[in-house]
């Protein structure tokens, strides 16, 4: 016995194990038989019972789409709303003869070939009990005609749903943006796909895109009992969807309208901001397009027409258009000269109409061929003398100049809350070495001084920087959205203005010098924008600019009439008003408009008038 | 000592890779059926499931290369590491779905209880490897302690399904070691009062709720009983021949919750009927039989007990899953092997098949 405890008996153990394995096999077989018996009980004995249950008592959970939040302008005008529209849908399972039904439907209402093709395609992929849409946006008449004939069209259903609508279409397209069908990639990137289980549209650009989370809301659910044909018999339990938040914009629709009218068919962009808060009062890019075209999916021909148009209506010039600032850069460069100690307000320079670098043949011309004579900072801004800034830029050197301009925001995104902006470009030695693998040339410093060369800015950036200049250095992040409503307490929650790092200036009187000069641009008889000054009911500080579209050969003349319209200079204007208490800062660019003083400044004036002279105050 | 020449000459690719041909064939067949059902339940997950299958089969092939002697040597360390990690999970683990089951290493998440599914039968087999079988009382008591420690740790997470699975994988090894049946009867009599203790002290409210709804699912048709009612309707309406592939209305109208994971058998039952179900069960049975055959062919105590334990654990998966979906067992949340969508448990399962193949193909081939 003791021996048996310490020694292993291999043969006996193998025998023991095999008998246990056989028991395990038999046990497994019996257990599986239990399962089969259970399944026989369910699938054969009670088959009829469960079939009845499955047909007559289907309990389903259906998601309910939340209503998308509305978008208002600052005065409460609706910019984006939801309209009930009707669509025609077919359930294949319930249609007796598809061909015949389609023919009957087409007799009653218009069904285009592309609608039909998409339907046939969906038909192949969908399951037999799912609804397949045939037509969207039925008119009332079409709905009526279908309703009357419904008894002879089994399986044909009219479904009502809310469709996004932009009542002002093109006027607000570049701010509000639009929603469109969710594509595969967007679906994959959704943070919470369940929340979108009943949603088929998502914000693509503009506020619709940037504030998607607020606007969308929270999906609701409904437990319903349906019959064998999928028709809902009764609702068992319901979790209501939470509607999306309404969004109010800082945009003032009347300013948008005034600007659009003032552009009078020209191409260009205008951005107006409130300097103290960064609130974007107007953001216009013309020509524009009708955002409603995109909501149900735009057809190929229309899209091609829009995207290939030379006018580029889809291009958001205000946010993405990058233009040389031209002479509108001068107040900023002048301030750099004062602040960095290279000039004083009294520093004078003789302008002979051109400028030359030592040992360089090339003449850098002033726009005024005969020259401005003796020029100080004030005159250099009022009359927009180029030579003064050639010299100042050279004294400052590109790196100090570039550094100061970047402190203002040139070459950087403003961080506007609707996204989609370009950064512009403020060149420097290091940038050129990295981007172009070339050394910096002194001549490039000269033309940077007058906002030409590599320098690029967006209308939004110019407006924001002008605003910062108006309030003496306190930069604010441009904000399109003014407030977001809370659906639970119906209260508006204002968006807090967001200050950016200020442009620190050691001598505050330097602001005065530059701003006074800008006031004289508009209000002195020699100012380049005097035409908008003499009848203005408030004081305006401004600066005109022209941005070269193509280079002119040395010694050649730029005669506007001789140059094809598309190669003409861009006209620019920046300004703010009233000078004493700035309430609005504006940047305007008119593409190929020619002179800034003549073309761009009246657009700005009209928007300022609309804002400052309006009878009733903004709420 | 003569090498088996005839066997040597006929070595195919499978044999050279230390794989067992029949078992491999059955597993591939099962995986194919699984993909077919998953396509119907949720076609979007097919590619992801293919990746998981590839990983799982690779793990199987890799484990098949490790001779059982090595496994035997590593067993105590593996088990100790597993238990240490279980303790770590309770101390610092990541909380997911209301339970602490994961250990996070950066972005990588690891569920130590999965490791125990393998380490448990290995450890019990290791503990009984040199003992004359059937083992004496002291050995069996020792084995029970080995089983109890990780089981309680996992139950505490709380993960009742896995803890039962881990416990049974160890218990099957003890059974295969040949303990007398009368002791089993005794244990059964002890089980009832201990179930009471479990109910009172160890189960969480949601687990108790599951057992209660299991007893009478119709009492809560919109809450926890919803799963069982819907899956019974799906299976029952399938009938003898089923509604046909892709035509299960219950599953496609989204009545069936968890239809791609734990409840995928209901989709299968609805679309393929009793005929399909019987064939699927037959396939599982063949896999179990092949596994038991491999166990009986093993020449040593450790591989023999281990193989037996692993095979029966596989069977527990099948029985518990189908039992729960068809409403004869409570909903404990175990997947249907190789059919349910999911990664971790599939890798563990295929690892155990890798071990089985290793046991079978690393035998010292002696002519008896």
Across the interface, whether the CB atoms of B284 and A9 are under 8 A apart is answered: no
Question: For residue A356, what are the β-bridge partners?
Answer: A363
Question: What is the C-alpha separation between B336 and B328, in angstroms, rounded?
Answer: 16
Average pLDDT estimate for A537-542: 94
Picking from A575-589, B241-255, B296-310, which range would have the lowest pLDDT averaged per residue?
B241-255
Task: Share the mean pLDDT of chain A.
Answer: 87
Choose among B273, B288, B312: nearest Cβ to A43: B273
When pLDDT is averaged across residues A393-402 and rounded to a whole number, the result is 93
Residues 6 or more apart from A164 whose CB is under 8 A from it?
A: A68, A80, A81, A82, A83, A178, A179, A201, A295
Q: What letter would DSSP give residue B154? A: H
**What CA–CA distance (Å, rounded) separates B217 from B116?**
32
DSSP string, A551-569: PPPTT----GGGS-GGGSP
In this prediction, residue A401 has a pLDDT band, given cuts at 50, 70 and 90, of very high
Q: Which residue from A17, A60, A127 is facing B176, i.e. has the nearest CB?
A: A17
Q: Does residue B156 have a pLDDT over 70?
A: yes
Residues 6 or more apart whose CB falls under 8 angstroms from that of B328 comprise A34, A38
* Measured CA distances, A615 to A475, A607, A611 (Å): 29, 14, 9
**Average pLDDT over every residue of B276-285:** 95
Please give the backbone phi and psi of residue B130, each rounded to the nearest 5 degrees, phi first.
-105, 0
Q: What pLDDT digit, counting tens, does each position of A19-65 carry?
A: 999 999 999 999 999 999 999 999 898 888 888 777 655 666 777 88
Structure tokens belonging to residue A551:
């280079």
Tell me which DSSP letter residue B73 carries.
Answer: H
Q: What is the pLDDT of residues A540-577, one digit of tens each?
A: 999 999 887 765 545 555 555 556 666 788 999 999 99
Using the Cα atoms of residue A271, residue A272, residue A273 and residue A279 in order, give the sign of their dihedral.
negative
- Put simply, whether B316 touches A (Cβ < 8 Å) is no
Averaged pLDDT for residues A72-101: 87
Query: Mean pLDDT, to the nearest integer, of A161-187?
Result: 89
SS (H, E, C) A182-198: CCHHHHHHCCCHHHHCC
For B312, what's the count of Cα atoms within 13 Å in the CB-facing half-sphere?
Answer: 28
The answer to whether A480 and A495 have CB atoms below 8 angstroms apart is no
Question: A493 pairs with which residues across the strands?
Answer: A484
CA separation, residue A310 to residues A305, A528, B64 (Å) = 10, 31, 67
CA–CA separation, A408 and A463 (whole Å): 11
Query: For residue A545, which of A393, A386, A338 has the smallest C-alpha distance?
Result: A386
Report whether pLDDT(A261) > 90. Answer: yes
> Where do we find the tokens 């969710």?
A182
What is the CB neighbour count within 10 angstroms for residue A339? 19
For B235, the closest chain A residue by CA position comes to A43
| Interface touch A16/B133, C-beta < 8 Å | yes
Give tens-digit pLDDT for B80-104.
Answer: 999 998 888 888 766 555 556 666 6
Tell me whether residues B132 and A44 touch, CB distance under 8 A.
Answer: no
**Phi and psi (nearest 5°) for A428?**
-150, 170
Give helix B160-176 / helix B301-325 axis angle, nearest 10°: 140
CA angle, corner A128, sides to A127 and A132, nearest 5? 75
Q: Which of A223-227, A546-550, B174-178, B191-195 has the lowest mean pLDDT?
A: A223-227
> Which structure tokens are listed for B233?
């309707």
Over residues A200-205, mean pLDDT: 89
CA distance A495 to A421: 20
Tokens for A148, please give them. Answer: 């009357």
Rounded-to-5 percentages of helix, strand, coil across chain B: 70, 5, 25
- From residue B81, alpha-carbon distances to A452, A576, B101, B151 in Å are 69, 72, 16, 15
pTM for this model (two decimals): 0.59
Q: Do A20 and B178 touch (CB under 8 A)?
A: yes
State percent of chain A over pLDDT 90. 50
Q: Do A42 and B288 touch (CB under 8 A)?
A: no
Of the listed ranges A1-5, A162-166, A308-312, B332-336, the one predicted with least confidence: A1-5
For residues B177 and B165, is the Cβ–Cβ distance under 8 A?
no
Better-predicted residue by pLDDT, A147 or A377: A377
In this predicted structure, the answer to whether residue B3 has a pLDDT above a threshold of 50 is no
For A66, A483, B187, the CA distances from A271, given in Å and listed in that order, are 33, 20, 83
Encode pLDDT of B26-57 as tens digits. Answer: 999 999 999 999 988 888 888 889 998 999 99
Q: Give A2's pLDDT tier (boundaries 50, 70, 90).
A: very low
**% of chain B surpassing 70 pLDDT:** 83
**What positions of A carry a catalytic annotation?**
327
Closest CA to A69 of A204, A189, A248: A248
Segment A408-441, tens digit of pLDDT = 999 999 999 998 999 999 999 999 999 989 889 8
Please write the tens of the pLDDT for every residue from A206-245: 999 999 999 999 888 877 766 545 566 677 778 888 899 9
**Distance from B172 to chain A by nearest Cα, in Å?**
9
Retrieve residue B132's tokens: 């004359």
More confident call, A95 vs A312: A312
Tokens 């009992």 label which residue?
A225
Reported as a single tens digit per residue, the pLDDT across B57-73 is 999 999 999 999 999 99
- What pLDDT does B368 receive? 42
The DSSP result for B239-275, as a single string, is TTT-S-TT--HHHHTT-STTTTTTTHHHHHHHHHHHH
Looking at residue B11, its pLDDT comes to 61
Residue B366: pLDDT band (50, 70, 90) is low
CA distance B301 to chain A (A): 9
- Report in angstroms the alpha-carbon separations of A275 from A123, A499, A604, B49, B262: 56, 11, 15, 57, 60
Distance (Å) from the alpha carbon of B256 to chain A's nearest alpha carbon: 9
Please give the full DSSP string across A351-376, using - where no structure is assigned. E-SEEE-TT---EEE-SSTT--EEE-
Identify the three-state secondary structure at position A125. helix
Residues sharing a CB contact under 8 Å with residue A74, sequence separation 6 or more, in sequence order: A248, A249, A250, A251, A252, A281, A482, A618, A619
Strands (E), chain B: 94-96, 99-105, 108-110
Residue A300 pLDDT exceeds 90: no
Residue from the list B236, B255, B323 with its beta carbon closest to the beta carbon of A59: B255
Q: Among B177, B181, B253, B295, which would you mutate to test the A interface (most chain A Cβ atoms within 10 Å of its Cβ)?
A: B253
Query: Can you give the pLDDT at residue A206?
Result: 94
Does residue B222 carry a pLDDT above 90? no
Q: Which residue has the higher pLDDT, B250 or A343?
A: A343
Strands A268-273, A280-286: pairing is antiparallel
pLDDT tier at A89 (50, 70, 90 boundaries)?
confident
What pLDDT was estimated at residue B221?
Answer: 52
Give the mean model confidence (pLDDT) for residues A271-282: 96
Is the pLDDT at A137 greater than 70? The verdict is yes
Task: Report the alpha-carbon distance of residue B132 to residue A433 in Å, rounded.
Answer: 82
Compute the nearest-CA separation of A105 from chain B (Å).
27
Nearest to A287 by CA among A318, A314, A307: A314
Residue A354 predicted with pLDDT over 70: yes
């Amino acid at each position: 016995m003791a021996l048996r405890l310490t020694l292993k008996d291999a043969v006996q153990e193998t025998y023991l194990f095999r008998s246990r394995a056989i028991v395990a096999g038999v046990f497994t077989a019996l257990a599986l038989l239990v399962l089969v018996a259970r399944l026989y009980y369910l699938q054969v004995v009670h088959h009829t019972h469960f079939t009845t249950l499955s047909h007559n008592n289907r309990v389903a959970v259906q998601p309910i789409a939340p209503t998308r939040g509305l978008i208002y302008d600052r005065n409460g005008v609706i910019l984006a709303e939801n309209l009930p529209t009707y669509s025609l849908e077919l359930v294949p399972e319930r249609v007796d003869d598809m061909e015949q039904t389609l023919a009957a439907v087409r007799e009653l209402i218009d069904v285009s070939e592309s609608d039909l093709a998409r339907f046939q395609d969906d038909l192949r992929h969908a399951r037999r009990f799912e609804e397949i849409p045939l037509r969207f946006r039925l008119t009332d008449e079409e709905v009526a005609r279908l309703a009357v004939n419904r008894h002879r069209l089994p399986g044909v259903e009219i479904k009502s749903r809310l469709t996004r609508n932009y009542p002002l279409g093109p006027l607000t397209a570049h701010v509000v943006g639009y929603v469109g069908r969710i594509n595969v990639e967007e679906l994959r990137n959704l943070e919470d796909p369940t929340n979108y289980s009943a949603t088929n549209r998502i914000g693509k650009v503009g506020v619709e895109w940037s504030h998607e989370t607020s606007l969308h809301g929270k999906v609701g659910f409904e437990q319903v009992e349906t019959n064998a044909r999928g028709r809902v018999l009764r609702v068992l339990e319901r979790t209501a969807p939470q509607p999306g938040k309404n969004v109010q914009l800082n945009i003032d629709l009347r300013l948008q309208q005034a600007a659009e009218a003032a552009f009078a068919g020209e191409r260009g962009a205008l951005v107006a901001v409130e300097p103290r808060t960064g609130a974007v009062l107007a953001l216009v890019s013309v020509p524009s397009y009708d955002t409603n075209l995109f909501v149900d999916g735009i057809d190929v021909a229309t899209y091609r027409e829009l995207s290939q148009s030379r006018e580029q209506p889809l291009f958001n010039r205000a946010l993405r258009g990058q233009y040389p600032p031209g002479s509108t850069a001068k107040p900023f460069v002048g301030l750099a000269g004062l602040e960095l100690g290279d000039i004083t307000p009294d520093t004078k320079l003789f302008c002979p109409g051109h400028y030359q670098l030592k040992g360089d043949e090339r003449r850098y011309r002033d726009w005024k061929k005969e020259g401005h004579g003796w020029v100080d900072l004030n005159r250099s801004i009022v009359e927009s003398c180029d030579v003064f800034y050639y010299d100042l830029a050279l004294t400052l050197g590109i790196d100090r100049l570039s550094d100061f301009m970047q402190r203002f925001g040139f070459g950087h995104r403003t961080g506007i809350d609707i996204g989609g902006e370009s950064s512009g470009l403020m060149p420097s030695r290091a940038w050129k070495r990295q981007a172009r693998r070339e050394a910096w040339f002194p001549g490039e410093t000269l033309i940077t001084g007058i906002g030409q060369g590599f320098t690029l800015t967006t209308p939004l950036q110019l407006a924001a920087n002008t605003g910062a200049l108006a309030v003496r250095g306190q930069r604010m992040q441009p904000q399109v959205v003014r407030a977001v409503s809370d659906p639970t307490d119906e209260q508006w929650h204002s968006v807090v203005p967001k200050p950016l790092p200020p442009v620190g200036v050691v001598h505050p009187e330097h602001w005065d010098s530059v701003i006074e000069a800008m006031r004289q641009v508009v209000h002195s008889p020699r100012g380049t924008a005097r035409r908008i000054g003499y009848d203005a009911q408030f004081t305006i500080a401004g600066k005109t600019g022209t941005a070269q579209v193509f280079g002119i050969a040395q010694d050649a003349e730029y005669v506007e009439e001789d140059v094809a319209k598309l190669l003409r200079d861009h006209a620019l204007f920046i300004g703010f008003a009233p000078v004493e208490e700035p309430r609005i800062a504006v940047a305007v660019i008119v593409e190929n408009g020619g002179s800034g003083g003549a073309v761009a400044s009246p657009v700005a004036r009209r928007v300022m008038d609309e804002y400052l002279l309006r009878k009733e105050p903004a709420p | 000592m003569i090498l088996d020449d005839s066997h040597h000459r006929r070595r195919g690719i499978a044999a050279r890779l230390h794989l067992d041909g029949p078992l491999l064939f059955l597993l591939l067949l099962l995986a194919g059926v699984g993909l077919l059902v998953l396509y119907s339940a949720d076609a979007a997950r097919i590619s992801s499931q293919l990746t998981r299958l590839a990983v799982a089969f690779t793990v199987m092939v890799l484990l098949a290369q490790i001779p059982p002697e090595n496994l035997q040597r590593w067993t105590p360390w593996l088990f100790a590491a597993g238990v240490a990690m279980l303790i770590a999970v309770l101390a610092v683990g990541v909380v997911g779905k209301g339970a602490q089951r994961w250990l996070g290493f950066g972005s990588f998440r690891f569920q130590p209880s999965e490791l125990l599914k393998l380490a448990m039968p290995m450890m019990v087999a290791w503990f009984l490897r040199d003992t004359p079988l059937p083992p004496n009382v002291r050995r069996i008591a020792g084995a029970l302690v080995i089983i109890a420690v990780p089981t309680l740790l996992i139950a505490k997470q709380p993960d009742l399904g896995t803890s039962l699975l881990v416990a049974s994988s160890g218990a099957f090894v003890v059974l295969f070691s040949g303990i007398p049946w009368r002791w089993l009867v005794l244990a059964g009599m002890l089980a009832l009062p201990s179930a009471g203790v479990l109910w009172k002290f160890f189960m969480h409210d949601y687990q108790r709720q599951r057992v209660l709804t299991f007893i009478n699912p119709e009492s809560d048709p919109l809450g926890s009983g919803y799963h069982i009612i819907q899956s019974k309707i799906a299976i029952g309406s399938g009938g003898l021949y089923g509604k046909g592939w892709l035509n299960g209305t219950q599953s496609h109208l989204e009545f069936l919750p968890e239809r791609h994971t734990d409840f995928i058998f209901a989709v299968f039952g609805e679309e393929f009927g009793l005929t399909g179900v019987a064939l699927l069960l037959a396939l599982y049975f063949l896999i179990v039989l092949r596994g038991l055959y491999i166990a009986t062919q093993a020449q040593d105590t450790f591989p023999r007990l281990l193989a037996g334990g692993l095979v029966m654990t596989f069977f527990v998966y099948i029985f518990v899953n189908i039992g729960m979906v068809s409403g004869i067992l409570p909903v404990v949340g175990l997947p249907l092997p190789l059919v349910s969508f999911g990664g971790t448990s599939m890798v563990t399962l295929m690892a155990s098949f890798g071990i089985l193949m290793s046991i079978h193909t690393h035998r010292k081939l002696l002519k008896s």
